[in-house]
Amino acid sequence: MSVILGSGEHRYRVVENWAKLPDGWEFRDVAAVAVDSRDRVYVFNRGQHPMMVFERDGTFVRSWGEGLFGRAHGLHIDSDDNLYCTDDGDHTVRKITTEGKVLLTIGVPNQPAPFLSGKPFNRCTHTALSPKGEIYVSDGYGNSRVHKYSPDGKHLMCWGTTGTDPGEFNIVHNVVADEDGWVYVADRENHRVQVFDGNGKYETQWNNMHRPCALYCCGGQGRGGHPQFIIGELGPGMPVNTKHTNLGPRLAIVDQKGKTLARLGGEAGPGEETGKFLSPHGLAVDSKGSIYVGEVSYTNWPSTFPGVPVPKFLRSLQKLEKVA
């Protein structure tokens, strides 16, 4: 019997064993996922084969990126099917074709900016594009900053510092932009998403979430549309609340005002069982409305299950198929 998550118009069926990996291969922490115009799925992970490509039915197509990336973290795809790969291990953002050709590198590989200096980059986390093709980079673990670049990689401006007030960040973990130019930033350890205009002016924030980690904007095509957002919420990260319920890990679907429309999973805490999550870290949606969820399961296992040995194999990718 299949497992259904969500409610109302937001119902999804968990697809078991979707990706057909070559013999002996595995995902070792899927940090991010993207879907191109042909519904091919790009899986950015921390294993021996950093970028794995699949057809919508899970058939393996190719891999690339071996020897290029330090530590996979963020992935965004533009309307021309170019991939923006954020590597927090070597502190760079690379614009790459779907075949693996590097077109642009922002940042100097393996040369991080000083810790909390505000200069790019120190463990950058994700990218987004403005309607004009400008590049936003969330930065990240060793900074509390959002940087804005021209389409050809020229640094234009930045905003943010460490703190809890509006416009301040405590692990700026993800960033997306909509077609009206609003910028949405997952401020993970402040348990909120902050909303800015295209030049970093604070607009509002959404607070009804627990450690927002993944962030995806969907729907609302055209200016003045009404996009919805999918948020991957991490579960408790401290031993004192590890067994608390209703904190995730889970997915939340919210509207443009941050109102929760549905939640998928999370009621009974983390787990490997079908219908549960361990650490939703990256999200993508295909043309049929299916959600692909990348999880950094190996990284998060020790804090999720303190003292429990890490299993030999952990699930790091899930597909949730939209129920008509």
Query: Which amino acid is present at 236?
Result: P
3-state secondary structure of 128: strand
Assign 49 a pLDDT band (cuts: 50, 70, 90).
very high
Please say if the pLDDT value at position 150 is more than 70.
yes
> Given this model, what pLDDT does residue 222 score?
61
Q: List, for residues 306-317, the tens digit of each pLDDT value.
A: 899 999 999 999
> Given this model, what pLDDT does residue 224 score?
67
Q: How far is residue 110's CA from residue 14's CA, in Å, rounded to a whole number? A: 39
- Give me 301's structure tokens: 């296992």
Average pLDDT over residues 1-19: 93
Q: How far is residue 88's CA from residue 97's CA, in Å, rounded to a whole number? A: 20
> Given this model, what pLDDT does residue 220 score?
67
> Given this model, what pLDDT does residue 103 score?
98
Q: List, for residues 255-270, the tens digit of each pLDDT value.
A: 999 999 999 999 888 9
> Given this model, what pLDDT does residue 219 score?
74
First to last CA, the chain: 17
In this prediction, what percent of the chain has a pLDDT beyond 70? 98
> Given this model, what pLDDT does residue 268 score?
83
Q: How far is residue 314's CA from residue 34's CA, in Å, rounded to a whole number? A: 21
Q: How far is residue 29's CA from residue 215's CA, in Å, rounded to a whole number? A: 17
In this prediction, what percent of the chain has a pLDDT beyond 90? 89
> Given this model, what pLDDT does residue 221 score?
62
Q: How far is residue 188's CA from residue 209's CA, in Å, rounded to a whole number? A: 9
Phi, psi of 100 (to 5 degrees): 105, 10
Q: How far is residue 45's CA from residue 29's CA, in Å, rounded to a whole number? A: 5
> Given this model, what pLDDT does residue 262 score?
96
- Give me 143's structure tokens: 């900074």
Average pLDDT, the chain: 95
Query: Which amino acid is present at 94?
Result: R
Q: List, for residues 187-211, the tens digit of each pLDDT value.
A: 999 999 999 999 999 999 999 999 9
Q: How far is residue 206's CA from residue 260's CA, in Å, rounded to a whole number? A: 10
The pTM score is 0.97
What is the longest distance spanned by two Cα atoms in the chain?
53
- Give me 165's structure tokens: 């007030």
Could you tell me the CATH number of the domain that includes residue 288?
2.120.10.30
Range of the domain at 274: 4-322
> Given this model, what pLDDT does residue 239 score?
82
Q: List, for residues 215-227, the tens digit of each pLDDT value.
A: 999 976 666 678 9
Phi, psi of 298 (to 5 degrees): -65, -40
> Given this model, what pLDDT does residue 242 score?
83
CB atoms within 10 A of CB 208: 13
Exposed/middle/buried for residue 5 (C-beta within 10 Å: 0-12, 13-18, 19+): buried
Please say if the pLDDT value at position 46 is more than 90.
yes
Average pLDDT over residues 20-42: 96
Alpha helix stretches (DSSP H) within 172-283: none
The total of structural domains in the chain comes to 1
Q: Which residue has the higher pLDDT, 225 or 5?
A: 5
The DSSP secondary-structure symbol of 258 reads: -
Q: List, for residues 90-144, the tens digit of each pLDDT value.
A: 999 999 999 999 999 999 999 999 999 999 999 999 999 999 999 999 999 999 9
The answer to whether the CB of 306 falls within 8 A of the CB of 242 is: yes
Alpha helix stretches (DSSP H) within the chain: 297-304
